[in-house]
Amino acid sequence: MDMNRRQFFKVCAVGLGGSSLAALGVAPPTAFADQVRHFKLARTIETRNTCPYCSVGCGLIMYSQGDAAKNVAQNIIHIEGDADHPVNRGTLCPKGAGLLDFIHSPNRLKHPEVREPGSNEWKRISWDEALDRIARLMKDDRDANFIERNAAGQTVNRWLSTGFLAASASSNEAGYITHKVVRSLGILGFDNQARV
Amino acid sequence: MSSQDIIARSATTTPMPSVRQVDEVAKLIDVSKCIGCKACQVACSEWNELRDEVGHNHGTYDNPADLTASSWTLMRFTEHETESDSLEWLIRKDGCMHCAEPGCLAACPSPGAIVKYANGIVDFNQDKCIGCGYCITGCPFNIPRISAKDHKAYKCTLCSDRVAVGLEPACVKTCPTGAIVFGTKEAMKQHAEERIVDLRSRGFAQAGLYDPPGVGGTHVMYVLHHADQPSLYAGLPDDPQISPMVSLWKGITKPLGLLGMGLVALLGFFHYVRVGRNVVEEDEHGPDPAVHQVDPAVHPYDPREPRV
Amino acid sequence: MTNHWVDIKNADLVLIMGGNAAEAHPCGFKWVTEAKAHNKARLIVVDPRFTRSASVADLYAPIRAGSDIAFLGGLINYLLEHDRIQHEYVRNYTDATFIVKEGFGFENGLFNGYDPNTRSYPDKSAWGYERGEDGYVLTDPTLSHPRCVFNLLKQHYSRYTADVVSNICGTPKDAMLKVWEAIAETAAPDKTMTIMYALGWTQHSVGSQMIRTGAMVQLLLGNIGMPGGGMNALRGHSNIQGLTDLGLLSNLLPGYLTLPSDAEQDYAAYIARRTSQPLRPGQLSYWQNYEKFHVSLMKAWYGKNAAAENNWGYDWLPKLDIPGYDVLKVFDMMYEGKINGYFCQGFNPIAAFPNKAKVAAGLARLKFLVVMDPLATDTSEFWRNAGDFNDVDPAQIQTTVFRLPTSCFAEEDGSLVNSGRWLQWHWKGAEPPGEARTDIAIMAGLFIRLRELYRSEGGAYPEPILNLDWPYLKPEEPSPEELAREFSGKALEDLTDPATGALLVKAGEQLSGFAQLRADGSTASGCWIFCGSWSAQGNLMARRDNADPYGMGQTLGWAWSWPANRRILYNRASADPSGKPWNPQKKRLVWWNGKAWTGTDVPDFKADSPPEDGMGPFIMNPEGVARFFAVDRMAEGPFPEHYEPFETPIGRNPLHPDNPQATCNPAARVFKGDLEVFGKAEEFPYVATTYRLTEHFHFWTKHCRLNAITQPEQFVEIGEALARELGIAAGDRVKVSSNRGYIRAVAVVTKRIRPLTVDGKTVHQVGIPLHWGFSGVARNGYLTNTLTPFVGDGNTQTPEFKSFLVNVEKA
């Protein structure tokens, strides 16, 4: 990063030469070449989305690199506001304007993992192992603790020993199917971020 | 934009092409609408692919604490108590003003490292920058910063790449409250007039436009509630002028080309001083290496400290 | 929001109280600046801190955290005393004329029927209306009856004089009166004020009643249903509105239908209890259609298996023995060791819930925890030692933790509901990283496995699992389009007009709206208020026509708004009783054209009910009008009363200094053990309030470099006077402690928080932003909820994050 002696002399020499020529009123015509940075969105693909943070629901345009050809993994390289959107009209707050760093956060999770009892580390596992193990734990707990009737003999069909916190930014479609599944199991300890 | 759009070029005395007659553009920052959300800071860094260091909180909302080679704009927060004991939280977006008579360009010794386009944008060309720091000396607003990584000067480009293809700068587009607007300089002055009428109706008798004549006017202007006291806004210069040091330098280079060479040698000396300092600042407890340390030797005056 | 973001531009006055829209909703706040710039609107901010919203306000008044009911109650008294109300609106569109039962009373801070042992009002029978022989409520249009709601309201708030209020809130009297006077101006029928609030009102032990008081002010001023008016809850998260609409709460079903209680063993009685009959002649009382919504939901979930013979699967719904298993209740049970398994889908409870020590101890008592998230949350690593930030011993924690990577917004299709009730569709732009999957795929993967286990092994009550309808083309990952069509709804049989026999909708076709739903099993709709969002015309949520022909900002062709694409709720009230807009020049929303209701918005009303029939604008209420008197629906009583926060800096309620039962919310639930860890002012003398900053979003953006740069490190805000007293300078590190724990942070010393004089004492307030934790790319810090008390609002159980007691020392 830092200059070594040779670079330093080079810089001085260029500086000296350039300034001298300038001082003498001679500027090379080639130096007038186009120097504005290339516009990076010229051929990107645009996808409409909605900001996942607060409830203003700002419209976004996500720009991804690649032309969606078979051999390309589209990579989102820039996000800005959707100028057509009636609420945000192209604007974004500091969170929305920084969404690129959410998508590409170093802390994005990439693989299912498990932390075993008493352990101090994560262990990578397959999706099948993760879902099979969780389903087994759920069923064992439900079978052991499901309440069909209360003390008064009334039909109540509830499962209280497992709870579920639903998301606050997942889509309606994800929320709908989550509700459908969770209630079919009889779970009542079910809430979302609306409560807090 | 290409060379035909250039109307001024650092350290160059040949006539500029100035072929294209384009409207001058301007960014207007309405301080009275600004909520200091820093969306412009983030959008600027996102668009320009800059990621500054994650710094510290120094007891204020200002973060990063100062402009750097990777932070080209930032919010400066001032808590101001008025005579009537009411509080105003004055928040000013700081960054390059794109002066009509840019002090940086006048001071720059490297041909073509700083150019001014016909539309008013003042842009740095890092390929030609020699890292001397004279642009900082020449800037009455203390804006450019030298990168510790490549020893080149950086500052806001007014998103010259976006403007060149017909878009507005990234900070303008993102601004949630419309405190930053963009258009021709004429349109922005007209917009400012409407804002000033509104502000006067809300009791700000001194509301006005900041377009300082000392630098020939700027292509980044402010609407201020207290236009009579710009320095209230985190030391915005009341009457910015190009530093006398720059005039002096310019005054002797023209007749005395050879002395110019001598000055370049002097600049090499300054450069050596700076590079040498950065080398020894590798210690992680030292100042942030991405932050250009303002050298008092080349800074006769710091615009953040109002002149007496 | 009763209204929506763009409509704020139609306001003449904006009141931001119990929220900080500039900071938490900057892009929505643009419509405040727009109202100021182009509608000559004024902005008022009332907040404990001089916030970024206050920085652009015309008027700012400080207030002690947790005293908003007093401020607003005083405003009600001011409006009534000075006769600054919208008379015709109050008389025709509210319950002001309704006569209340004789037994109703209020004494020394408590309504009648209180039981201190259960901390509740078990007997609310007197909190009701006088009924006539025809069964309808008795009214007095002259407002002279001593027990008409109007006079009871007047009497209740007559105690809230300017001096009393200033003494409780600490708001200087002159600033307060300036605010009240500016608000009173919007009583003019052609002027409106909008109220924008958020968690600054919900996160109190009396949060629901604060919001009610705000709504009552709006009713007195005639501002509900009006363009530029309304009560606008600024929801915190991108789809918290949608997930609430879809009923993902302990006691709810989609569309604000409710789960049965244990006592409701009989299906017909369950339905009858929710089928509210009109309380006044000629009222719509739309919940009369409850069974249509309920049966259509059960058909969407259980398909052919839900039939009239099994009461549409009534027994498959779990029944509640208590009002609800909200998060505080569940975490209290977890702490007691009564919960074995827990799922966190995109949620970070160790950071988001009060009293981190208690939450963490609860998590450590689980057998298994499943975290589904795009990011590595603090909760997923609650077992990891992070020094002082999370000082635990992993070896002692026996919880198995699964962490499942999910896609984020950019990597999936679907819809979100914004605060203005717009359902907006979005599209996928890239594949998720690594092996991450959608939440839909994870839920489907778990369900299919469970169903298979119950099929092959049997087990406890397998019927609801085996009978659940799963008609998706890819059962392991239903498409968002299939699910959206399912919650919108379709005809299961040909639907014909009962009067003419004409075919309305063919079997299998999507429905156009909830008016087509039936209770006979011939329709399916997974969420009745979303019915019509995906109609025979296709996906209306994906519409992108932003035309605004009237310039009112209603953009009816953009996306789709529930209910029935109506943009402003109760908009019938924007017209006078004869059907003409109160302000025909600038605030035209709906009007009667001689044959039908029409307008710049879709009328939220029965389209063919002529004004002379007298149907009220509040069509969901059996009264047909809005309620000042909450009857038996609020835990604390029909009229909001000021109670102190559970951690009060003054130790008594200045309104009822001699009644300790009325110091704090008498009907709030307090768990055993939590009462003991409430702090007292002697030890913790400063009022603390927690909040978010504009640079960050909860605990997500600490994982995002760009946001970490703009606010890198945890801090607390301390007023200059307190800092001087404690010898703290800006940039010093300080220790802030409550009776539950401590945090250390940098001090931001500010002029923006001034000491207030409350009940004769000087009260200092301390501001604590909440965005840091022990993971992320921002500098690690303490979870702010280490400090907060484990007590919630008496109705919603939303924790009291906005007002509690701390001590501050130089660290």
Q: Is the peptide bond before C405 cis (omega within 30 degrees of 0)?
A: no
Helix, strand, or coil here: C436?
coil
Residue B193 sits in the same domain as residue B93:
yes
The pLDDT assigned to A27 comes to 46
Q: State in words which class domain C327-414+426-454 has.
A: alpha beta
Question: Which among C374, C351, C375, C346 has a CA at the least distance from the CA of C363?
Answer: C351
CB < 8 Å to A108, chain C = 374-376, 405, 408, 433-434, 436
* ipTM of model over 0.95: yes
Q: Give me the residue label for tokens 């009428």.
A: B197
Residue B108 sits in the same domain as residue B63:
yes
Report if residue B305 sits inside a domain.
no
Residues near B238 by Cβ (< 8 Å), separated by ≥ 6?
A: B229, B230, B231, B306
Specify the CATH number of the domain A45-103.
3.30.200.210
Q: Give me the residue label for tokens 């820093």.
A: B38
Helix axes A172-184, C290-302, angle to 10 degrees: 80
C528 at the A interface (CB within 8 A)?
A: no
pLDDT tens by residue, C499-534: 999 999 999 999 999 999 999 999 999 999 999 999
CB contact under 8 A, A54 and C263: no
CB contact under 8 A, A18 and B111: yes
Please say whether the beta carbons of B132 and B109 come within 8 A.
yes
Specify the CATH number of the domain C660-810.
2.40.40.20
Residue that wins the pLDDT comparison between C571 and B16: C571
Please say whether the beta carbons of B114 and B96 come within 8 A.
no
Q: What residue of B is the nearest CA neighbor of A91?
A: B174
Window 742-781 of C, Cβ < 8 Å to B? 746-752, 777-779
Residue B265 sits in the same domain as residue B129:
no
The architecture (CATH level 2) of C6-233 comes to: 3-Layer(aba) Sandwich (3.40)
Please say whether the beta carbons of B75 and C23 come within 8 A.
no
Per the prediction, chain C carries an average pLDDT of 98
Residue B69 sits in the same domain as residue B207:
yes
Residue B87 sits in the same domain as residue B217:
yes
Cβ-in-10-Å burial (0-12, 13-18, 19+) of B178 comes to: middle
| Chain C: closest CA distance from residue B9 (Å) | 34
Residues near A148 by Cβ (< 8 Å), separated by ≥ 6?
A: A155, A156, A157, C460, C461
Percent of chain C with pLDDT over 90: 99
C476 at the B interface (CB within 8 A)?
A: no
Per the DSSP assignment, residues forming a β-bridge with C426 are C414
Per the DSSP assignment, residues forming a β-bridge with C592 are C597
Residue B80 sits in the same domain as residue B169:
yes
C393-426 burial, b at 16+ Cβ within 10 Å, e below that, comes to ebeebebbbbbbbbbbbbbbbbbbbbbbbbbbbb
What are the extents of the domains in chain A? Answer: 45-103, 123-195
Q: What residue of C is the nearest CA neighbor of B196?
A: C37
Write out the two tokens for C137: 């409520």
Which of the residues C258, C336, C426 would you substitute to probe the A interface, choosing the one with the greatest number of A C-beta atoms within 10 Å?
A: C426
Give CA separation, C804 vs C138, C241, C249, C545, C693, in Å: 44, 27, 26, 47, 19
Residues near C397 by Cβ (< 8 Å), separated by ≥ 6?
A: A117, A118, C364, C382, C383
Strands B220-224 and B25-30: parallel
The pLDDT assigned to B254 comes to 46
CATH code for position B207: 3.30.70.20
Sign, CA torsion B90/B94/B100/B105: positive
Classify residue A19 by its DSSP letter.
Answer: H
What's the rounded mean pLDDT across residues C432-461? 98
- Is the entire prediction scored with pTM above 0.80? yes
The pLDDT assigned to A35 comes to 73
The pLDDT assigned to A41 comes to 97
The pLDDT assigned to B13 comes to 86
- Into how many domains does chain B fold? 2
Beta strands in chain A (DSSP E): 45-50, 59-65, 75-81, 113-115, 123-124, 147-149, 155-158, 162-165, 190-191
Write out the residue range of the structural domain in which residue B200 sits. Answer: 3-227
Report if residue B300 sits inside a domain.
no
Q: What residue of C is the nearest CA neighbor of A46?
A: C429
Give CA separation, C6 vs A58, C20, C58, C228, in Å: 12, 17, 21, 9
Beta strands in C207-255 (DSSP E): 231-233, 252-253
Q: What is the distance between the alpha carbons of residues B283 and B287, in angstroms, rounded to a whole number?
A: 9
Nearest-by-Cβ selection for B59 from C30, C34, C730:
C730
What's the rounded mean pLDDT across residues C699-727? 98
Q: Give me the residue label for tokens 């496995």.
A: C449
CB contact under 8 A, A120 and C447: no
What's the rounded mean pLDDT across residues C649-659? 98
The pLDDT assigned to B213 comes to 97
Residue B129 sits in the same domain as residue B257:
no
Query: Given a cut of 70, is residue C574 above it in pLDDT?
Result: yes
Write out the two tokens for B8: 């001024």
Give C578-624 as a DSSP string. TS-BSSTTT---EEE-SSSEEESS--SS-TT--GGG---SBTTSTTB
Q: What is the distance between the alpha carbons of residues A128 and A108, in angstroms, rounded to a whole number?
A: 21
Question: Which among A192, B10, B86, B236 has a CA at the least distance from the CA of C796?
Answer: A192
Report if residue B75 sits inside a domain.
yes
Please say whether the beta carbons of A114 and C401 come within 8 A.
yes
Give all chains having 3 or more CB-to-CB distances under 8 Å with chain A.
Answer: B, C
Residue B256 sits in the same domain as residue B108:
no
Per the DSSP assignment, residues forming a β-bridge with C736 are C743, C808
What's the rounded mean pLDDT across residues C733-755? 98
Strands C193-197 and C231-233: parallel
Residue B181 sits in the same domain as residue B256:
no
Question: Which among C292, C427, C417 has a CA at the least distance from the CA of A56?
Answer: C417
pLDDT tens by residue, C195-231: 999 999 999 999 999 999 999 999 999 999 999 999 9
Question: Which among A160, A184, A182, A180 has a CA at the least distance from the CA of C315?
Answer: A184
Residue B212 sits in the same domain as residue B263:
no
CB contact under 8 A, B260 and A31: no
Element (DSSP H or E) covering residue C806: strand C804-810
Which of the residues B29, B37, B40 would you substitute to probe the C interface, choosing the one with the greatest number of C C-beta atoms within 10 Å?
A: B37
Nearest-by-Cβ selection for B59 from C40, C694, C746:
C746
A88-120 burial, b at 16+ Cβ within 10 Å, e below that, comes to bbbbbbbbbbbbbbbbebebbbebbbbbeeeee
CB contact under 8 A, A25 and B13: yes
Cβ count near C500 (within 10 Å): 8
Cα angle C646, C648, C649 (rounded to 5 degrees) comes to 165
Residues near C266 by Cβ (< 8 Å), separated by ≥ 6?
A: none
Cβ count near C733 (within 10 Å): 12
Residue B88 sits in the same domain as residue B160:
yes
Write out the two tokens for A91: 């604007």
What's the rounded mean pLDDT across residues C87-102? 98
Nearest-by-Cβ selection for A102 from C325, C347, C408:
C408
Give all chains having 3 or more CB-to-CB distances under 8 Å with chain B.
Answer: A, C
Give CA separation, C570 vs C378, C512, C574, C604, in Å: 42, 21, 8, 6
pLDDT tens by residue, C762-801: 999 999 999 999 999 999 999 999 999 999 999 999 999 9
Residues near C590 by Cβ (< 8 Å), separated by ≥ 6?
A: C571, C572, C574, C575, C581, C597, C598, C599, C600, C601, C603, C604, C605
Q: What is the distance between the alpha carbons of residues A109 and C379, in angstroms, rounded to a whole number?
A: 14
Instruction: Give the largest Cα separation in chain C, rounded.
Output: 83
Window 229-248 of C, Cβ < 8 Å to A? 234-248
Window 330-349 of C, Cβ < 8 Å to A? 330, 333-334, 338-347, 349
Rg (CA), chain C: 27
The pLDDT assigned to C797 comes to 96
Q: What residue of A is the nearest CA neighbor of C404?
A: A112
CB contact under 8 A, C434 and A113: no
What's the rounded mean pLDDT across residues C96-117? 97
Query: Given a cut of 50, is residue A6 above it in pLDDT?
Result: no
| Chain B: closest CA distance from residue C58 (Å) | 7
The pLDDT assigned to A13 comes to 42
Confidence of residue A11 (pLDDT cuts 50, 70, 90): very low
Per the DSSP assignment, residues forming a β-bridge with C414 are C426
Cα angle C76, C793, C218 (rounded to 5 degrees) comes to 25
Residue B260 sits in the same domain as residue B223:
no
pLDDT tens by residue, C388-430: 999 999 999 999 999 999 999 999 999 999 999 999 999 999 9
Under-50 pLDDT residues of chain B? 254-255, 257-258, 273, 275-308
What's the rounded mean pLDDT across residues C178-185? 98
Strands C715-719 and C741-750: parallel
Report if residue B238 sits inside a domain.
no
Q: What is the distance between the alpha carbons of residues C731 and A12, in angstroms, rounded to a whole number?
A: 41
CB contact under 8 A, A165 and C417: no
Question: Which among C811, C598, C788, C611 has a CA at the least distance from the CA of C689?
Answer: C788
Please say whether the beta carbons of C506 and C516 come within 8 A.
no
Give CA separation, C357 vs A76, C379, C389, C742, C803, in Å: 39, 12, 11, 11, 19
CB contact under 8 A, C33 and B201: no
CB contact under 8 A, C732 and B59: yes
| Chain C: closest CA distance from residue B111 (Å) | 34
Q: What residue of B is the nearest CA neighbor of A10?
A: B130
What are the extents of the domains in chain C? Answer: 6-233, 327-414+426-454, 660-810
Q: Give me the residue label for tokens 């409106």.
A: C192
Give CA separation, A3 vs B124, B136, B274, C809, in Å: 21, 21, 11, 47
Nearest-by-Cβ selection for C747 from B59, B71, B177:
B59
Residues near C442 by Cβ (< 8 Å), separated by ≥ 6?
A: A131, C372, C404, C406
The pLDDT assigned to B272 comes to 52
